[in-house]
Chains A and B, each alone.
Chain A
Amino acid sequence: MKTPIQFRLNGEEVATFAEGGANLLDTLRETIGDLSVKGGCWHGSCGACTVLIDGAPRLACMTLAETVAGRSIETTAGLRQGAELHPLQTAFMEHFAAQCGYCTPGMLMAAKALLDRNSSPSREDVVDALGGNICRCTGYEPIIQAVLDAARGYRRSA
C-alpha cells in the first residue's frame, strides 16, 4: 500500500509515494534522493538524520513519511544559498567542527533550529540543542564553539 504525499523540501514542492510504514529518512534518501540526510541508528538515538519540519528539529528515522504531507522540510542540502555558505557551514569549517562528517548534517540542522529562534544562545543553550546529536570524532567542543560563533554572524546579518 502506497500513499501519495506532497510537501515542501528546502522550498521546493515535491510529490512522491510513501510505502506503508516508511519513515521520512528512507523516503528522503531512497525515494527523493536527498542524500544529505544520514542514517546512523534508525531508531532515534543518534541524531544523524535530524531535519527541520516546519522549523522544528525532528528525527527523520522516527517520523512516518505520511505525516509530513503539506508541511515544510529543511535539510542540509538546502542550507546554502547558491554558492554562498550558511553562517553555520562557514563556522563549522573554520572551527574544525567536523572530522568524519557523518553526524555533521544532523548537527547543522539541530543548530539551525536553535539559531532561527534564538540568535544569542548561551553555551548551555547550544549544549542543550545539540544534546540529541552524537559525534564520535570531535569531542563536541569545536562544534559548540562553531555554533556560538555562527550566532554572532546571525546577529550581524539580522
Chain B
Amino acid sequence: MFELRKDVFADERDDNLHEIGQPTQRQDMLGHVTGTSAYYDDHRFAGLLHLKVLRSPHAHARIRSIDDSAAARAPGVKRIIRAADVPVNLNTLLSLINFGKDDEPSLASDIVRYKGEPILGIVATSERAALEALAKVRVSYDPLPAVLDVEEALKPGAPSVNATYPQNTFEYHGKYDHQNLRYGDVEAGFKQADVVIEDRYQMSPIEHATVETNGSITVPDTNGRFVVYTSTQALFFSLDTAAKINAMPSNQLHFIGGTVGGGFGGKVDTMTEPLCVLAARLTGAPVRYRFSRHEEMQFGSPRGAERIYVKDGVMRDGRIVARQVRCYFDSGAYTRLSSYAAIKCAAHIPGPYTIPNVYADVYCVFTNRTPATAMRGFGVTALDFALECQMDKLAHAIGMDPVEFRILNAYRDGDMKAHRREAKNCALIECAQVAAEKANWPIREEFRRMSSRSGGTGAARAGAAIDHTRAPAPAPQRVTYERPPQPASAQPPTRSEPPPPPPPRPSAPASTPGSSHGAQRFSSVFGTRRR
C-alpha cells in the first residue's frame, strides 16, 4: 500500500499536499471498464481504405528495381505509393527542435538500411487486398555488407550505414562524434585506488509491446483539412512531422488522440501518420494504417541496445575515487531519438555519487539494425543497471555493506557534480535509509544518522562522518559474484593519507532549511535553492 513518509525533510514541508497520499479516480476509468474509451481505431468511416507497406527483407541492400505492375492490377488496389510520391522524403524527428540532420526517408528509394524498412505502400479496399497486392510486388536487391555491432561500426573500413552520417556516429554541434565528460584526473585516481574493477555490460533492445499497436486513420475533411485519429504519444510532434513530410501547413491537419493503448515510448516516432495522411490526400478517401503485431514487434522501434564499459577505483574506506565510462548507443539505421538518449546518458554519469575523478565517452552509433527510440528513462536505465552492478561489486571487493557503501558515496546538497553543477535537493541517502529499514536490512547507526543536507563538500565528508578507527561492519555476502572476495577485505581499514582536496565549488546561496516546503524541495520548476 502507498505510504507517504512525512518525517523525511519534515522541516521543509508545510504539509500542503492535498492530492498526494490519497487515491484519486482516473477520469477515463469508467470508459476503460465499460469498453467505451475511444482509441484511434474505434472510429468508423464509410469507404475506409487500408494502407500496408512493403518492407525490406535485407539489413542492408541496394534496390536495383521495383516492379509493381502486377500489384497495381490486383483486386481492390486503389493506389500505390512510391518514394517519389512523398513530398519531403527525408526527415529526422528532432528536426522540429533543430537537433540533428534529416537522415530517414519515409519510403526507401535506393538503399534499404535495416530489415523491415518501408519501400512502397499499397492502399486497398481491405487489409487483405493490400497484403495480397504487396505479395505481387517484385523487388530486385543487391545485398550490401551489413554492420550489426556498435564497436564494429566504429572500426576503420566498416560499412557506412547512413549517408547523412558516413562515419556511423551522430554528429553533435556539427563536429563532435560523441559526448564526453572530463572531471579531475581519472588516471591519478586509479593509481591512488586500493581496488580497481572494470567490467562490460551489454543490454538488448527491448520492444515496448503495447497491446494496441501503432496506427492512425486519416479522414479528408470538407474544408481541405484532414482529421487524423492516431495512437501517438506525442500529438503535436506527430502533427508537425506529418505536416513537414507532406509539405503542407500544419493548420491543414487536425490530430485527435490522447486515448492510447499503451505507449512507454513506443509511440513517439510518428511511424504511421505521414504516410497515412499522404494516402488520404492521394485517394481522397479515409485511410487506416495499422501495424500488425508482427510489424510492431519486428519493425516498431525498440529501446536501443547499449554497450557500457565501466572502470572504477575505490579506497578501502569506501570512497570511490575514479570512475571511467565508455558507452555505445545502438541507434540502428537512423537517428530518431538516440542522439538525445546519449546526452541523457552523459548527463547521468557517474550516477548519483560524488566522485572526484570522472572520465566518460558516450557514442550514438549507427548500425543496420531497427532504429531505436524512447522507452522509460532511456539513456539512463541501462547505465544505472551497469553502475549499480558495479556498486555492488565494489562494495563486495572492499568488504563493505552495499547500502552503506551507497550512502557513503551519495550526493549531498552542495557537492560538486562531474558536470560542474552543484548537487541540490538530494534525497538518495534518505531513500536508501528508508529502503534498508523496510527491507529489515541492518545498517550502522552512523549511516542511519547521515543526511543529504550535511557533509556536502565532496570528498571531505568521508573523514568527517565516519569513525575510521573502528573496523567496518562485517559485510555479509548477500550476493554472489564471480569475483571472489578480495583477501584484503578482512584487514582493518588504514587511512594514512588525507582525502583528496574537494573539487572547486561555486558560491552557493545560503541554504535556509525551514523556510521552504516539500513542493520546493522536489520541484524542478521553482524553489529557492534551485537555480
Which A residues lie at the B interface, using CB under 8 A? 33, 35-43, 45-46, 48, 75-77, 79-80, 85, 88-89, 92-93, 96, 98, 100-105, 108, 134-137
Q: Name the B residues within 8 Å of A36 (CB-CB).
A: 34-36
Measured CB to CB, the nearest residue on chain A to B39 is A102
Q: Name the A residues within 8 Å of B31 (CB-CB).
A: 101
Chain A: minimal CB distance from B343 (Å): 27
Choice from A33, A88, A100 contacting B211 with Cβ under 8 Å: A100
Is B485 an interface residue, CB under 8 A from the partner?
no
A/B pair count, beta carbons within 8 Å: 95
Q: Name the B residues within 8 Å of A134 (CB-CB).
A: 209, 211
Which B residues lie at the A interface, using CB under 8 A? 23, 25-26, 28-39, 41-42, 44, 208-213, 259-264, 292-293
Q: Name the A residues within 8 Å of B28 (CB-CB).
A: 101
Q: Can you list the 4 inter-chain pairs with the closest CB atoms, starting with the nearest?
A: A36-B35, A101-B32, A102-B261, A76-B35
Q: Name 19 A/B residue pairs within 8 A (Cβ), A-sorted.
A: A33-B44, A36-B35, A36-B36, A37-B35, A38-B212, A38-B261, A40-B261, A46-B211, A75-B35, A77-B35, A77-B36, A93-B25, A93-B33, A101-B261, A102-B39, A102-B261, A104-B33, A136-B210, A137-B262
Could you tell me the dominant secondary structure of chain B's interface residues? loop
Choice from B23, B260, B293 contacting A43 with Cβ under 8 Å: B293
Contact A35 B35, CB 8 Å, known A96-B23, A98-B29:
yes
Chain A: minimal CB distance from B529 (Å): 34
Alpha-carbon separation in the docked complex, A151 to B484 (Å): 51
Alpha-carbon separation in the docked complex, A10 to B293 (Å): 28
Alpha-carbon separation in the docked complex, A38 to B210 (Å): 13
Alpha-carbon separation in the docked complex, A35 to B293 (Å): 19
Q: Are A100 and B34 in contact (CB under 8 A)?
A: no
Chain A: minimal CB distance from B38 (Å): 8
Q: Name the A residues within 8 Å of B208 (CB-CB).
A: 136
Measured CB to CB, the nearest residue on chain B to A86 is B33
Measured CB to CB, the nearest residue on chain B to A79 is B34
Q: Name the B residues within 8 Å of A137 (CB-CB).
A: 262
Q: Name the A residues within 8 Å of B213 (CB-CB).
A: 40
Measured CB to CB, the nearest residue on chain B to A92 is B33
Q: Are A42 and B264 in contact (CB under 8 A)?
A: no
Alpha-carbon separation in the docked complex, A28 to B43 (Å): 14
Alpha-carbon separation in the docked complex, A38 to B25 (Å): 23
Alpha-carbon separation in the docked complex, A137 to B376 (Å): 12
Chain B: minimal CB distance from A25 (Å): 12
Chain B: minimal CB distance from A32 (Å): 11
Q: Name the A residues within 8 Å of B44 (CB-CB).
A: 33
Contact A102 B212, CB 8 Å, known A45-B293, A93-B30, A96-B23:
yes
Interface contacts beyond A39-B41, A93-B29, A100-B212: sample of 14 additional A-B pairs, CB < 8 Å, sorted by A:
A35-B42, A38-B211, A38-B261, A41-B293, A43-B293, A45-B293, A80-B34, A92-B32, A93-B33, A100-B261, A101-B29, A101-B33, A102-B261, A136-B210
Chain A: minimal CB distance from B211 (Å): 4
Q: Name the B residues within 8 Å of A89 (CB-CB).
A: 33-34
Measured CB to CB, the nearest residue on chain A to B44 is A33
Q: Name the B residues within 8 Å of A98 (CB-CB).
A: 29, 32-33
